[in-house]
Amino acid sequence: MAQEYQTIIIGAGPAGLIAGRHLKNALVLDKKKEIGKPVQCGEGISRNALKLQGIKPDDSWISCKIYKTERTMPNGKAIGKFHKETMGYVIDREKFEKYLARDVKAEIKLDTKVINLKFENNLWEVVAENGEVFKAKYIIGADGPSSIVRRKAFPENQNKMKFVPAVEYLIKTEKELDMKTIKIYFDNKKYNHGYAWIFPKSKNTANVGIGSIGNFSKEFDEFLKNVIKKNYGNYNILENRSGTIPVANISQCEIYKDGAFLVGDAAGLADPIFKGGMSQAMTSGKIAAECILENNPDSYEAKIKAMPFADKKLSEAGELFYNLDNKVLDELGEVFENKELSYIQTFHGALKTLLNLVLLRNIKKFLVLFLVWRRTKDYI
Ligand SMILES: Cc1cc2nc3c(=O)[nH]c(=O)nc-3n(C[C@H](O)[C@H](O)[C@H](O)COP(=O)(O)OP(=O)(O)OC[C@H]3O[C@@H](n4cnc5c(N)ncnc54)[C@H](O)[C@@H]3O)c2cc1C
């Protein structure tokens, strides 16, 4: 006979583990043999993202404390300044997820791949590859980019999402890295709706990658040669951490029906500009659990859609930013070099922007980008 729970959470990533921390009469299923493995992530997370979950940064899972996000434009000029306070972290995601799992109230069952689900007599039936069957009133689809919950229960969402491939390696470098700075490289000619990155993990290790639509193997080779090798000497690839980042315009998607919730990457909640998704995954996992506890599951979709990270303006801003000409990015680099975007709010910043003809011609776009950034920055 099928085992019955109030809730079945499919996926033990950040979204599922946070939901499982709040729900007692629940089962978390994951196809993984071990929590946290394999890692398919740059492991960057903001200080605010942890604060929103009430998680105190813990040295046991922090690889590097970050004080600066450096955004390099095609001409080599970099936006971003060094902050006195920690802005975020590069974490050890395997250890972080194991840490989250310690406080999960729900039962966790690993090595259990869900292969089918159906809704019958007001109950969800979840079938695992090993033949086990589970039943529940609620299911939380926390099963990441290729979510079976999305494909089975919300098939209409599939065509409304962009799946951005992200190639990433954990590498060991010959020369030392800057352990306090996350480096991002924009080039709208080379990368389609994406960018390249270096996230330091230690003095001589880093996650380096590119997320971009289409085939970018040539661009990745160039990045390894012209940026990594040139600045950090010879390197060894320690691990392939590549994956896919699903991005949806949430305002057009259904994410709750008949007791089934989509959270995190399964819902397509990753940031359409920087593609990070851990914060939104944890927040949506928490909100889904709260809706169940409050016996008000129907409110989930509206609550998520009201979150700044689900604002359709964010998707529009992503389109706007990645369609800017490289010449515009270069001019942004000139005016905002070593400064934060908030520089535009100062008298000098506003004046320098208005006196730059290329930027002046695009001023409406920058205002949209700036307002969206200000509204969402604390949630992603
Ligand atoms: C290369 C790369 C770099 C990234 N860098 C960053 C970054 O620096 N910062 C950031 O915030 N985000 C980053 N992201 C995005 C981030 O990793 C995701 O947004 C985040 O993991 C989403 O969490 P989640 O819990 O929704 O899904 P996931 O972490 O994907 O967890 C889903 C879980 O579901 C399980 N599962 C899937 N299918 C089934 C099934 N059928 N049955 C049972 N279990 C199943 C999986 O095993 C997995 O454990 C990156 C992504 C990639 C690919």
On the question of pLDDT at 378 being above 80, the answer is no
Mean pLDDT across the stretch 329-346? 93
Secondary structure (3-state) at 256: strand
Distance CA 18, CA 189 (A): 38
Q: Which of 61, 255, 265 to mutate to test the pocket of ligand 1 (most atoms within 8 A of CB)?
A: 265
Mean pLDDT across the stretch 40-62? 96
Distance 156 CA to ligand 1 centre (A): 21
Residues with CB under 6 A from ligand 1: 10-16, 29-32, 40-45, 113-114, 142-144, 148, 166, 168, 209, 241-245, 264-266, 270, 276-278, 281
On the question of pLDDT at 58 being above 90, the answer is yes
Which positions ≥6 away from 200 have C-beta within 8 Å? 63, 64, 90, 177, 178, 179, 180, 181, 182, 206
Q: Which domains does the chain have, with CATH numbers?
A: 3-43+92-154+254-310 (3.50.50.60), 163-245 (3.30.9.10), 314-376 (no CATH)
- Tell me the pLDDT band of 372, cut-offs 50, 70 and 90: confident
Distance 266 CA to ligand 1 centre (A): 9
pLDDT reported for residue 315: 86
For ligand 1, atom 12, the nearest C-alpha belongs to 276
Query: Sign of the C-alpha dihedral, residues 223, 226, 227, 231?
Result: positive
Percent of the chain topping pLDDT 90: 88
Distance 219 CA to ligand 1 centre (A): 24
pLDDT reported for residue 369: 86
- Tell me the pLDDT band of 98, cut-offs 50, 70 and 90: very high
Mean predicted lDDT score pLDDT of the chain = 95
Distance CA 199, CA 209 (A): 9
pLDDT reported for residue 373: 81
Distance CA 89, CA 355 (A): 36
pLDDT reported for residue 227: 97
pLDDT reported for residue 300: 98
For ligand 1, atom 51, the nearest C-alpha belongs to 41
On the question of pLDDT at 274 being above 90, the answer is no
pLDDT in tens, 176-196: 999 999 999 999 999 999 999
- Tell me the pLDDT band of 2, cut-offs 50, 70 and 90: confident
For ligand 1, atom 44, the nearest C-alpha belongs to 30
